[in-house]
């Protein structure tokens, strides 16, 4: 019955509509006959039209001059990559009764050996021409690992492209095609950009060539977890797969960035787009053209965020800056006097509000440059003059050979609820540490609540270096109760500060 009611209602509505239409039709017919018989002829309507260009009532940006002038310098990039697919092998031996059953589900010719198959994968991206003789800039992930790259211009001419250089850290690539007298784009200065300025993106989202989208700058110098050396431009310009590598224009028609990433839960645009600043890009591109190895600035510190509890433990007024967890021996930071526990708040006269801002600042510094680094040392402001060097090619610690263990001093710190022992030569060489104590046991207490686990090395407590278990016991005995205290620990080859709150004695 529930299904019959809507149908009956629908039928009634149809009937009513039909009746009304019929009535109106009859009335209209009668009215028409009456008008023809008695009414005077109505004058023709006079409609005034004006097709001349009119001034806009509301001032909005007009992007057409940018596209007309520089649109031809934006190119489409298609790349082909050979991907190796490992086919599943028959898990049963030939004499198994299940072998033949599973064999029917294998691809022809496999015979359970699990051979490799090669599949060609094609991807689309965008790029822009920076010189009339055919140099093209794009995002590194557009052509990374590609066996064949083709560049197509807006006039539909296609050229095979040669990869001149590619940087994974900066996600930037430089291509070259054999052509002359090509249209180019002007390069702007991304350091001059401000939040709220209009932007224009050109690319091929989902393969729809020469698509134009617009938006504004949402934030500058935005760090992302997987790209620590890139100070991204965040915008709300709609960018989708296929836009990667395309230019980001300002209102002067200058390229200020490469469209690179989006934040999404669906695979499509959700209002957050990220572009590589053109100043970062062109530094890499120039090295490519000069056939130079790309060098990154190196400070030699491991840093972490300053949380509100950590700021309280370090006696800071507010939780800002990058907390130095460790300093590499012989590094520029070590030579300048920067120590674990210092908080970096400025770099090269630029503020450092959080830990994500520092790596791109240092990485983009040319080796050999002197940078002024502002720190808070035990709450007091200091400035260090640091000579930035090149990032070492091998950042891994020395492996060394295994040595026989020597007797180690063991101690118990009851107030923290841990057992510790002194470092052995093997641990010092393997982890490249020179002071601290190894946690060998953890029970309920302050250390467990702070996340301390066996195997960690306690290097510092309350900004005092720890060299042996006895020293740690004495320091802990002198510390106040129920107050946050900074504790520097090392796990593997990474150091980090945690906050520990000690109970009453």
Q: Which residues are catalytic?
A: 141, 171, 244
Please check whether residue 142 is in contact with residue 127, taking contact to mean a CB–CB distance below 8 angstroms.
Answer: yes
Of 461, 433, 422, 398, nearest in space to 328 by CA: 433
- Phi-psi category of residue 300: left, alpha or beta, with phi > 0 → left and psi -120 to 50 → alpha: left
**Radius of gyration of the chain from Cα atoms?**
34
3-state class (DSSP) for residue 64: helix
Count H helices, E strands: the chain?
11, 28
Beta-bridge mates of residue 361 = none
Residue 195 CB partners (closer than 8 Å, separation 6+) = 216, 217, 218, 219, 220
Q: Give the C-alpha separation, 494 to 496, whole Å.
A: 7
User: What DSSP string describes 208-276?
Assistant: -TTEEEEEEEEEEEEEETTEEEEEEEEE-----TT-TT-EEE-TTS-EEEEEEEE--SSSS--S-EEEE
Beta-bridge mates of residue 118 = 84
Please check whether residue 424 is in contact with residue 402, taking contact to mean a CB–CB distance below 8 angstroms.
Answer: no
Residue 95, burial from CB neighbour count under 10 angstroms (0-12, 13-18, 19+)? exposed
Residue 36 CB partners (closer than 8 Å, separation 6+) = none
Please check whether residue 398 is in contact with residue 386, taking contact to mean a CB–CB distance below 8 angstroms.
Answer: no
Consecutive H or E run containing 464:
strand 464-465
DSSP 89: P
Total residues belonging to the chain: 505
3-state class (DSSP) for residue 296: coil
Consecutive H or E run containing 351:
strand 350-351
């Amino acid at each position: 019955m529930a299904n019959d009611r809507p149908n009956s209602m629908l039928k009634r509505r149809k009937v009513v509509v039909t009746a009304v239409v019929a009535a109106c039709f009859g009335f209209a017919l009668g009215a028409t006959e009456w008008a023809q018989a008695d009414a005077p002829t109505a004058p023709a309507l006079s409609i005034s039209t004006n097709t001349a260009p009119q001034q806009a009532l509301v001032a909005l940006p007009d992007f057409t001059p940018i596209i007309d002038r520089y649109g031809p310098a934006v190119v489409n990039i298609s790349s082909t990559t050979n991907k190796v697919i490992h086919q599943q092998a028959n898990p049963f031996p030939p004499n198994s009764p299940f072998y033949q059953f599973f064999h029917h589900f294998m691809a022809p010719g496999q015979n359970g050996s699990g051979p490799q198959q090669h599949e060609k994968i094609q991807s689309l991206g965008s790029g822009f021409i920076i010189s009339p003789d055919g140099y093209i800039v794009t995002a590194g992930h557009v052509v990374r690992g590609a066996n064949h790259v083709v560049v197509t211009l807006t006039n539909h001419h296609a050229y095979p492209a040669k990869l001149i250089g590619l940087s994974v850290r900066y996600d930037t690539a430089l291509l070259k095609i054999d052509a002359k007298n090509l249209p180019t784009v002007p390069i702007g200065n991304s350091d001059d950009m401000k939040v709220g300025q209009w932007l224009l993106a050109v690319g091929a989202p989902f393969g729809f060539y020469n698509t134009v989208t617009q938006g504004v700058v949402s934030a500058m110098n935005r760090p992302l977890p997987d790209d620590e050396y890139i100070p991204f431009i965040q915008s709300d310009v709609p960018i989708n797969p296929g836009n990667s590598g395309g230019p980001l224009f300002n209102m002067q028609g200058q390229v200020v960035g490469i469209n690179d990433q989006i934040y999404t839960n669906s695979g499509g645009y959700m209002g957050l787009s990220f572009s590589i600043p053109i100043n970062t890009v062109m530094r890499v591109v120039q090295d490519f053209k000069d056939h130079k190895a790309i060098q990154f600035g190196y400070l030699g510190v491991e840093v972490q965020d300053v949380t509100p509890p950590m700021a309280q433990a370090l006696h800071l007024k507010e939780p800002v800056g990058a907390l130095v967890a460790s300093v590499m021996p012989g590094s520029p930071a070590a030579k300048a006097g920067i120590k674990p526990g210092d908080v970096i708040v400025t770099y090269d006269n630029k503020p450092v509000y959080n830990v994500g801002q520092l790596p791109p600042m240092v990485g983009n510094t040319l080796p050999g440059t002197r940078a002024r680094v502002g720190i808070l040392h035990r709450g007091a402001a200091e400035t260090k003059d640091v000579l930035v060097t090149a990032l070492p090619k091998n950042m891994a610690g020395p492996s060394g050979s295994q040595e026989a263990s020597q007797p180690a001093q063991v101690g118990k710190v009851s107030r923290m609820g841990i057992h510790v022992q002194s470092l052995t030569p093997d641990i010092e060489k393997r982890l490249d540490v020179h002071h601290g104590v190894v946690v060998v046991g953890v029970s309920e207490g302050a250390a467990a609540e702070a996340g301390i686990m066996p195997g960690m090395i306690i290097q510092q407590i309350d900004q005092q270096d720890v060299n042996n278990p006895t020293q740690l016991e004495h320091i802990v005995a002198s510390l106040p109760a129920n107050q946050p205290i900074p504790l520097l620990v090392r796990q593997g080859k990474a150091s980090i500060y945690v906050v520990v709150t000690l109970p009453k004695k």
